[in-house]
């Protein structure tokens, strides 16, 4: 009796990718939970209504930018200043998008629009790992969708919890919960520290971020990112050139 091998259906592949994306993002979600709750607690004291806070998390879905908006609202900043500042802070997403373009070029426009909206630091870290580990990317966008849905649902839920707890615990911002987000970002970076260019990039970016912390409108973050990328890329090109020269020298007859 001949046995036939049953290949997984497209639906099963999609489900597997979707669940895999959510699982890969879960450790990062743990660090984002306090961050979302703190945003909710700060919303009303900063002059943002309950519905405004929830709407911002649903429509904007950008943690760092939302915190900056709260600070600027509390300071009475003008709308153009708020827009310009959040734009600068979110410029890092251009780098994320540039990295993903070759991997999503085959997808229809509706998928790329959805992925653009759901592009966060956590999802980028989880999806980058997926693309590095497996060459087959035909259903990888479902992995992305799983990561995005997990982060999106968590952020909205935590915002709602923060809004609800804001009046009960008005001093929650003094608990030091925001440190969890720093730990989360460190956790995203550490797995990629496997080469000299990556180490150089991280060290330079960290040093520049500290040195330029006092710059207005968070411009120091942009400068730190550009500096780190420039140094990391330069190290990569130098090492690649040295490897080429080494290979050529080994091929030369003695």
Q: How far apart are CA 159 and CA 43, in angstroms?
A: 9
pLDDT for residue 205 is more than 80: yes
Q: How far apart are CA 60 and CA 66, in angstroms?
A: 8
Q: Which of 100-114, 130-144, 212-226 is most confident?
A: 100-114
Residues 18-37: tens digit of each pLDDT: 999 999 998 888 878 888 88
Task: Tell me the HSE value of 251 on the side-chain side, using a 13 A CA sphere.
Answer: 6
Let me know: does 69 contact 82? Beta carbons within 8 Å: yes
User: 144 exposed, middle or buried (CB, 10 Å; 0-12, 13-18, 19+)?
Assistant: buried
Q: How far apart are CA 125 and CA 4, in angstroms?
A: 39
Question: What does the pLDDT read at residue 83?
Answer: 83
pLDDT for residue 215 is more than 70: yes
The DSSP code sequence of 88-137 is HHTTHHHHHHHHHHHHHTTS-HHHHHHHHHT--HHHHHHHHHHHHH-S--
pLDDT for residue 224 is more than 90: no
Going from N- to C-terminal start, the domains of the chain cover 12-181, 193-248
The mean pLDDT of 36-46, rounded to a whole number, is: 82
Query: Of 193, 226, 194, which Cα lies nearest the Cα of 208?
Result: 226
The mean pLDDT of 84-90, rounded to a whole number, is: 78
The mean pLDDT of 144-149, rounded to a whole number, is: 94
Question: What does the pLDDT read at residue 4?
Answer: 41
Q: How far apart are CA 185 and CA 168, in angstroms?
A: 29
Residue 71, both tokens: 């600070």
State the DSSP code for 8: P
């Amino acid at each position: 009796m001949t046995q036939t091998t049953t290949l997984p259906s497209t639906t099963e592949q999609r489900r597997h990718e979707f669940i895999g994306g959510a699982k890969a993002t879960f450790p990062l979600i743990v660090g984002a939970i306090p961050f979302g709750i703190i945003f909710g607690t700060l919303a009303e004291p900063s002059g943002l209504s309950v519905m405004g806070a929830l709407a911002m998390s649903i429509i904007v879905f950008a943690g760092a930018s939302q915190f900056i908006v709260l600070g600027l609202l509390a300071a009475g900043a003008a709308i153009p200043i708020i827009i310009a500042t959040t734009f600068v802070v979110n410029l890092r997403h251009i780098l994320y998008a540039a990295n993903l373009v070759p991997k999503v070029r085959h997808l229809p426009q509706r998928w790329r629009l959805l992925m653009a909206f759901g592009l966060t630091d956590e999802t980028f870290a989880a999806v980058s790992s997926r693309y590095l580990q497996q060459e087959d990317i035909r259903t990888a966008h479902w992995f992305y969708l799983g990561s995005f849905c997990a982060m999106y649902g968590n952020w909205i839920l935590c915002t709602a919890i923060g809004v609800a707890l804001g009046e009960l615990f008005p001093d929650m911002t003094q608990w030091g919960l925001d440190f969890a987000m720093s730990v989360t970002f460190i956790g995203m970076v550490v797995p990629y520290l496997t080469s000299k260019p990556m180490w150089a990039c991280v060290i330079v970016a960290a040093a520049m971020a500290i040195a330029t912390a006092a710059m207005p409108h968070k411009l120091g973050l942009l400068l730190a990112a550009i500096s780190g990328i420039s140094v990391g890329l330069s190290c990569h090109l130098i090492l690649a050139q040295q490897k080429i020269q080494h290979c050529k020298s080994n091929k030369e007859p003695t």
